[in-house]
Amino acid sequence: MSKVLSAVAWPYANGPRHIGHVAGFGVPSDVFSRYMRMAGHDVLMVSGTDEHGTPILVAADAAGVTARELADTNNALIVQDLVDLGLSYDLFTRTTTGNHYRVVQELFRGVHANGYLVEQTTYGAISPSTGRTLPDRYIEGTCPICGYADARGDQCDNCGNQLDPTDLLDPRSKINGETPEFIETQHFFLDLPALAQALQDYLGGREASGTWRPNVIKFSLNLIEDLKPRAMTRDIDWGIPVPLDGWREQSAKRLYVWFDAVVGYLSASIEWARRLGDPERWRDWWNDPEALSYYFMGKDNIVFHSVIWPAELLAYNGAGERGGEAGEYGTLNLPTEVVSSEYMTMESKQFSTSRGHVILVGDMLSRYQPDALRYYICAAGPETSDADFTWSDFVLRTNSELVAGWGNLVNRTATMLAKNFGEIPAAGALEPVDETILATVRAGFDSVGDLVGRQRLRAGIAEAMRVVGEVNKYLTVTEPYKMKDESQRERLATVLHVAAQCVVDCNTLLAPFLPHSANLVHAALGGEGEFMPMPRIETVEELDTDNGAGLATYPVITGDYSATPSWQSHPVRVGAPVAKPTPIFTKLDPSVVEEELARLEK
RNA sequence: GGGGCGGUAGCUCAGUCGGUCAGAGCAGAGGACUCAUAAUCCUUGGGUCGUGGGUUCGAGCCCCACCCGCCCUACCA
C-alpha cells in the first residue's frame, strides 16, 4: 500500500467547462483514483478552480462584474458539474482562498530566498486605461511582414511568422481597441537555466522508468534543451500579491497565474489536512520519498506540470545549481507521473465556446446519465491521441455496449433470480462450465487492474466489457431459462448463483469507471448500503480571513471514501433478496443525434 | 519558422522489444435462442498497414524524403 497523490488539473473559472475538459482530466483521474483506493492505496485526490489571470478579468469586464464575482459564479457551476459526474475529490477547492495565498507566498519566498527568482526589467505592453499588463495574444495589429491586418501580438495567423508585439504596425488592444502603451517594468523571473541540470536529472530518471506516455516525456525533454528565465509576476491587479517588501504593497503587481495554479496541488493538500483537524497529515504525500504522485491534465498543460512545477519544487527544495535549503514545508516530492490526455474534438472540429461549438458538462448531464458520459470518455476518450466525439457514436456506444452488453446482463440475471427464487439461491455442486466462468471473471481483477493502474483506461474498460461478454455467453450456453422442471431446480439455483456472482464481480470491475450505476447494480442484486462512495458539496468557512481574495464561505467537493470496496471478488450473500429489476441504463433513441446536432447549429 | 502527434477493414481504433502483425469493436450478411431495454450467443472481414526510397534473412513496427490532417509554440483542458 502506497500514499498516492492524485493531482487533477484545475479547471479555469472563466466559464462553465465542456465535456472535452472532463475527458482530459476529470474522468480519467477519477477512474484511476477510485481504482487505486480499491487496490488498497491511500489516495489523496485534490484540485480546485483556477481563478486568477487575465482571461478572468477580461471575461468579468465583459460581463460587467468583478473578477471575484465571475469566479464565484463559475466556481459554483463547475463544482456542481464535477459532483454530478461523481468525481471523488478528497478536496476540490479554489485558488482565491486565504490558505492558497499563504502557501503560494511561502513557496515564492522559499524560491526567492534560494536565489532562483531574479528581478529583471522588461519591456511590455500595458493598457493605458487600466494599467494592466496586456498579454501578447490580446494585442492585434498589422503584420509587418505580410501586411495582414489582424495579426496577433505573438504570431501572425496569415503568414505564420512569430512576432513581438512591438513589431506590429498600428497595435491595438483586442479587449477595448485602445492603443497599448509599451513601458519598462520590473518583474521576477524564475531562473530556469539554473535549474536545467536538476530538471534534466529528474526527467532523465522519469524517462528511464518507461512509464510516462511517450509524447509527454519526449515533449518535456525537448523543452528543457533551451530554457530561458520566465516571468513569474505580472502587471495586473487580480492575483496573489508578491510577498516581498516593496512589492507586497503594489496592487498592480501580482504573481503570474501559472505560478500559483500549480502550487494548488500542495495548498489543497494542506487545506484538506487542516480541515481534517490533522494539519501536518499532508506531509505523508509530499515529504515521504516513497509516496507516489500522478498529475492529470490536457496536453496543453504538459509544460507547466513537467517543467515549471518541478522547477518551482526543485528551487524550493534548494536542488538547483545555486543550492539553497528547503523552507518550512520541507523537501517536496516531484511528480511521479505526468498523465496527459490529448484533445477531444466534437463532430471533427475543436470545441469552441465562443463559436457555440460546444457541449457543456451541465447540459450533457441534464439530459443523459453521468455514467453514459463516463463510459464514452473511458472507452473512446483522447487518451493517447485526439479523439472525436460524435453524437452518433455516443448513441451507438451507449446502446450497444452499455445498455445491450452490460445493462442487459444485469437485467436478465436479476429477472431470472427474481422470478425463480426472489433471492440469491445457494449453489449446488459446480460443473466445469461454472468453475471456468468464475475463474475468467476473477482473472479480470488482474487484467483490468493492471491496465487501469497504468492509466490505460480505454484498454481497461474494453477488457472489463470483454469479461461481461463472457458472462453473457455463459447464460446462453447454460440456458437457465429452460430449466422449468422441478428436477432441474438445483442446477437452476447453481447457474443463477454463479451468474449472480459473476455480475457482482463484473460490477466491481466496472465500479471505478461507472460508480453511479455500480451502486444501482449492487442494490439490484441484494447488496446492502452504498457500494461506491460518492462525493458531496459542502459549504465551508474561510480558514484564513487575513489573506486571500476575501471569501467568507465557499463550496468545496469532498467525501468519505474509506468504505471503498476492495479490488477483489466479493462473495454474494445467499438469501439476499432480489426483486424484478428496473433497467439500470437508459437506451437512447436514435433521434437524439439529430436533436443534438440541431442544438449545435444554433 | 521551430516542435509534436496521427494517416491500418465502411466507421472508431489496437498493434509493447522488427519475425502467426495483418487484428478488435461497431456497422452489414446468415444462423441459434427467448431469461432480458428485439437485448443475447454463434458464423461471416482478404484492407497497396498515406506515398516513394533505404536498412535487414525479414518492417505498420527502424532510417530518409515527400503528401495529407491535427495540435503546441509558453494567459482558454
Residue A69 lies in a domain: yes
Residues A331 and A445 in one domain: no
Please, which pLDDT band fits residue A235 given cuts at 50, 70 and 90? confident
pLDDT in the model for residue A137: 66
Length A341 CA → B9 C1' (Å): 27
Tell me if A546 sits within 8 A of A557, measured CB to CB: no
Residues A474 and A335 in one domain: no
Which comes out higher in pLDDT, residue A224 or A414? Answer: A414
- C-alpha angle A142/A145/A149, rounded to 5°? 20
Length A232 CA → B9 C1' (Å): 52
pLDDT in the model for residue A154: 63
A51: phi > 0 → left, psi -120 to 50 → alpha, else beta; which? Answer: alpha
Residues 241-280 of A with CB under 7 A from strand B: 256-258
pLDDT per position as a tens digit, A197-213: 899 888 888 877 777 87
- In this complex, the answer to whether residue A562 has its CB under 7 A from any atom of chain B, a nucleic strand, is no
Indicate if the pLDDT at residue A162 is higher than 70: no
Q: Which nucleotides of B are covered by protein (CB under 7 A)?
A: 1, 3-6, 11-15, 25-27, 32-37, 39-42, 70-77
- Which range among A10-24, A92-106, A168-182, A244-258 shows the weakest confidence by mean pLDDT? A168-182
Residue A162 lies in a domain: no
Length A460 CA → B24 C1' (Å): 14
Q: What is the ipTM of this complex?
A: 0.87
Residues A77 and A223 in one domain: yes
pLDDT per position as a tens digit, A4-30: 999 999 999 988 888 888 888 899 999
What single string gives the DSSP state of each residue in A558-570?
E---TTPPPSS--
Residues A236 and A121 in one domain: yes
Indicate if the pLDDT at residue A225 is higher than 90: no
Helix (H, G, I), strand (E, B) or coil at A362: helix
What is d(CA A497, CA A525) in angstroms, rounded to the nearest whole number? 11
Residues A320 and A407 in one domain: no
Alpha carbon separation from A517 to A396, A413, A582 (Å, rounded): 19, 16, 12
Tell me if A202 sits within 8 A of A220, measured CB to CB: no
Residue A386 lies in a domain: no
pLDDT per position as a tens digit, A391-415: 888 888 899 899 999 999 999 999 9
Residue A113 lies in a domain: yes
Length A398 CA → B43 C1' (Å): 25
Which of A341, A363, A382 is where one domain is finished? Answer: A341
Length A298 CA → B9 C1' (Å): 31
A156 is known to lie in a ligand binding site: yes
Residue A271 lies in a domain: yes
CATH number of the domain to which A18 belongs: 3.40.50.620
A159 is known to lie in a ligand binding site: yes
A54 is known to lie in a ligand binding site: no
* Burial call A145-156: b when 16+ CB within 10 Å, e when fewer: eeebeebbbeeb
Strands (E), A146-232: 151-152, 169-173, 181-190, 230-231
- Which of the nucleotides lies closest to A137 (Cα–C1')? B75
Residues A335 and A409 in one domain: no
The domain tally of chain A equals 2
Residues A496 and A589 in one domain: yes
Residues A322 and A411 in one domain: no
pLDDT per position as a tens digit, A85-124: 999 999 999 999 999 999 999 999 999 999 999 988 887 7
Average pLDDT of the residues in A543-566: 95
Length A459 CA → B46 C1' (Å): 27
Residues A22 and A120 in one domain: yes
Which of A316, A341, A366 is where one domain is finished? Answer: A341
Residue A149 lies in a domain: no
- In this complex, the answer to whether residue A53 has its CB under 7 A from any atom of chain B, a nucleic strand, is yes
CATH number of the domain to which A451 belongs: 1.10.730.10
Residues 478-507 of A with CB under 7 A from strand B: 479, 481-482
Q: Which of A439, A585, A415, A436 is nearest to A496 (CA)?
A: A415
Domain that holds residue A28: 3-134+180-341
Residue A173 lies in a domain: no
- In this complex, the answer to whether residue A586 has its CB under 7 A from any atom of chain B, a nucleic strand, is yes
Mean pLDDT of all residues belonging to chain A:
89
Residue A244 lies in a domain: yes
A146 is known to lie in a ligand binding site: yes
- In this complex, the answer to whether residue A160 has its CB under 7 A from any atom of chain B, a nucleic strand, is yes
Residues 362-421 of A with CB under 7 A from strand B: 380, 382-388, 393, 396, 400-401, 403-405, 407-408, 411-412, 415-416, 419
Residues A83 and A189 in one domain: yes
Residues A413 and A293 in one domain: no
Residues A507 and A438 in one domain: yes
Which of A296, A313, A341 is where one domain is finished? Answer: A341
Please, which pLDDT band fits residue A178 given cuts at 50, 70 and 90? confident
- Which of the nucleotides lies closest to A256 (Cα–C1')? B75
